[in-house]
Amino acid sequence: MASAFQSTLNTTKSQLPLEVWAGVECTVNRVGEEYFDQLERNGHAMRLDDLDLFAELGIQAIRYPVLWERIAPNGLENADWSWADERLERLRELGIRPIVGLVHHGSGPRDTSLIDPEFPEKLAVFARAVAKRYPWVTHYTPINEPLTTARFSGMYGHWYPHGRDDLTFARALLGECRAIALSMQAIREVNPDAKLVQTEDLGKTYSTAKLAYQAEFENERRWLSLDLLCGQITPTHPMWDYLRDSGISEAELAVFSQNTCPPDIIGINHYLTSERFLDENLENYPACTHGGNGRDNYADVEAVRVCTEGLAGPRTLLKETWERYQLPLAVTEVHLSCTREEQLRWLNEVWNAAQELREQGADVRAVTAWALLGSFDWNSLLTRCVGYYESGVFDLRSLRPRKTAIAKMVQDLAAGRKPNHPILETPGWWHRPTRLVYPAVSCGKSKEEFASQLSPRPLVIIGATGTLGKAFARLCEVRGISYRLLTRQDMDIANPASVNQVLDELQPWAVVNAAGYVRVDDAEREPHICLKVNAEGPAILAAACAQHHVALLTFSSDLVFDGAVSNPYVETDNVAPLNVYGCSKVLAEKLVLQANPASLVIRTSAFFGPWDEYNFVTIALRQLAAGNTFVAAEDAIVSPTYVPDLVHTSLDLLIDGENGLWHLANKGAIAWADLARLAAKKAGVSVNSLISVPTQELGFIAPRPVYSVLGSSRGELMSHLDSAISRYLEDRR
């Protein structure tokens, strides 16, 4: 018998193209007595002109907050609508359709909660007020991801009211679903044509044979919110006995079958961590993954890290949803906390999956680029406020939201153009063998392979023998970026013929110049060599890259400054080098940007890393640990740079298509001697043999600035030095 999916071939396919939607991470969740507000964290609460940036993407719709906790925290009679009035009107002017959300992982104002018997009616009152104020709004999500919110609030205890039992979970979920139904009823009394876009995080659970019963249970539970709204929870439903045993009455369940509220569009949110694997072999997994169900103890881990076949993925999960409900679908969140190319690969993969399903007959309406402004502290599930930021379509670490490469992809998709960045030709990490961090186990499903028709164009890295060049190669390997690491013999950047030959042969999409003359004191004795390597060569390379339409990343130094200030230098500050090396870098910057204004020139400073033995921090710790005398300057203030941070951030900027001068260094200003003390303290090494002296007593030939700290007017993208030192020690171990 043909499946329901096959039977709908060519019957539901929309004649309209797949839409591009977007969304602002807007969670207002409660932990204890504290509310965490993403709109305050990301600054969108104060920036109306963000909406103009969003409109430039070409999106058709936006998931947008008119949140109960923000508008009416002290009752509807004290509501402040000014923020929503201004923003919804601006969206209307811009021609962007808002999908209005009323509760986003929240539990309402302080006088209610998810398990308050009156929560549904209270939200419906607010929903009616929203509809009356904005009668032109046609699409609503009264509560985002009710099942996920109920699990986090009623089963795992993360969010208010911090329940940890089945009854609290069930009460929270039923309360949310009832609130959705009543809210839509109230909204439709104002606007009969209003549509419900119901979102849910849809995952899937796999397990060993012993735990198949638990996986089966969780795979049924994942549909609960949608089944409740569709009126499918009857005595024959697989979850009926669970809900009844949890303490829910037949009368409470009957309400849903008697008052159905099926979504007009089912919004599927799916993350790489949404698919889980359960294994009773606890010894294979860290203790933080251990748990159980009262019957068996088991580890609960990301399926992508253990399943031989990898993930079911968005296509399979969308197909399962379509076959189950036969209702229009949208992917309502596409986001990945990862490096830029992986974020692009994930969005591209989800888009292609949606397009493929449409071609096979499924009614998939849209794909949503999520977290337009990124998000804060989701790595702790919003249980604490520590400032962990994940960038999204825009990066907030600049003076105003900065478009990332994702913005360009969204613009392409919205305009009907196929994204063509060469990094898309390599599979995301969730397809690569390195994803497996636990003993591999078959999850008993078909394996979906990544298919690329092309051999990826490489990133050319110049500087095969240097610390920076090797670091780029190492991290490109980790990130799945195809590369070629070249020596001077492979490509002599001071020889135009050599440069053009390599560019013709390798056809790279970008070149990283990580080579150069770095002996600051020797440069005073042989300035002609330093200038040739550091300035003339990069200028020739820049001209060739411009001719071949290849992006270029090259590096400069903090030594372009004279240290006559006491505040961090930014990109627009005047240069005034004190030595030949600094002069060579100033000349290189000028010549490179003249020859190829699209080049990315990164000034950096005093870098240290875990993979070489000759940087300042490594040498200092080695000498101090051995009890040997170590001498360091006490008066020269720098901003040390952790090489892995520098490489990762540089690659992100390169992929984003950034150009011009950028300053990249870890946040912090410190004297060399104090840097040795900080590293030694964190490493548990004595500093008894450390000797601090003025720079002038170190016998340097080349003069150096006493202050060369790098700040930035373009974006503070690097972590704090303290964090970098800690990670350096971990990586060394």
pLDDT at 444: 80
Tokens (6 digits) for 527? 């300035």
Order of strands across the sheet that contains 510-513: 483-486, 459-462, 510-513, 551-557, 600-604, 660-663
572 CB-contact burial (10 Å; exposed 0-12 / middle 13-18 / buried 19+): exposed
Q: Tell me how crowded residue 270 is: count the other CB atoms within 10 A of its CB.
A: 25
**382 within domain boundaries:** no
Tokens (6 digits) for 266? 């089912």
Query: Residue 227 sits in which domain range?
Result: 202-332+426-453
**614 within domain boundaries:** yes
**550 within domain boundaries:** yes
pLDDT at 576: 97
Same domain? 671 vs 563: yes
Matching residue, tokens 């907030």: 396
Same domain? 515 vs 662: yes
Same domain? 594 vs 723: yes
The residues near 466 (Cβ < 8 Å, ≥ 6 apart) are 514, 515, 516, 518
pLDDT at 447: 64
Q: Which amino acid is at 319?
A: K
Same domain? 551 vs 579: yes
pTM: 0.94
**385 within domain boundaries:** no
Give residue 567's Cα distance to chain centre: 31
Same domain? 556 vs 625: yes
Q: Which residue, 418, 453, 488, sits at the end of a domain?
A: 453
The residues near 265 (Cβ < 8 Å, ≥ 6 apart) are 139, 195, 196, 197, 198, 327, 328, 329, 330, 365
pLDDT at 66: 98
Same domain? 540 vs 430: no
Q: Tell me how crowded residue 711 is: count the other CB atoms within 10 A of its CB.
A: 17
Same domain? 571 vs 658: yes
Whole-number Å distance between alpha carbons of 478 and 679: 26
Q: Which letter does DSSP use for residue 598 in this model?
A: T
**CB crowding 337-371: b at 16 or more within 10 Å, else e:** bbbbbbbbbbbbbbbbbbbebbebbbbbbbbbbbb
**52 within domain boundaries:** no
DSSP H or E segment with residue 595:
helix 580-595
CATH number of 482's domain = 3.40.50.720
Q: Which parts of the chain have pLDDT scores under 50? A: 1-14
Tokens (6 digits) for 95? 């021609």
**373 within domain boundaries:** no
At CA 430, angle to CA 424 and CA 431, rounded to 5?
Answer: 70
Whole-number Å distance between alpha carbons of 222 and 301: 17
Contact present, 657 and 405 (Cβ < 8 Å): yes
Whole-number Å distance between alpha carbons of 392 and 378: 13
The residues near 515 (Cβ < 8 Å, ≥ 6 apart) are 462, 463, 466, 469, 488, 493, 533
pLDDT at 448: 61
**350 within domain boundaries:** no
Q: Which residue, 453, 488, 511, sits at the end of a domain?
A: 453
Most distant CA pair in the chain: distance in Å? 90
Beta strand residue intervals within 155-284, DSSP E = 195-201, 204-207, 265-269, 275-279
**557 within domain boundaries:** yes
Tokens (6 digits) for 94? 């811009």
Q: Which amino acid is at 732?
A: R
pLDDT at 15: 62
Helices (H), 56-211: 68-71, 82-94, 119-133, 146-150, 166-190
Same domain? 646 vs 715: yes
Same domain? 562 vs 523: yes
pLDDT at 455: 83
Cis ω on the peptide bond leading into residue 161 (within 30° of 0)? yes
Q: Which residue, 437, 453, 469, sits at the end of a domain?
A: 453
Whole-number Å distance between alpha carbons of 276 and 219: 10
Same domain? 670 vs 526: yes
* Total structural domains within the chain: 2
Same domain? 314 vs 273: yes
As a whole number of Å, the end-to-end CA separation of the chain is: 59
**CB crowding 131-148: b at 16 or more within 10 Å, else e:** bebbeebbbbbbbbbbbb
The CB-side HSE value for 239 (13 A sphere, CA atoms) comes to 22
Whole-number Å distance between alpha carbons of 309 and 703: 59
Q: What are phi and psi of 601, to 5 degrees?
A: -115, 115
Whole-number Å distance between alpha carbons of 669 and 49: 34
pLDDT at 8: 45
The residues near 181 (Cβ < 8 Å, ≥ 6 apart) are 120, 229, 256, 259, 260, 261
Same domain? 446 vs 501: no
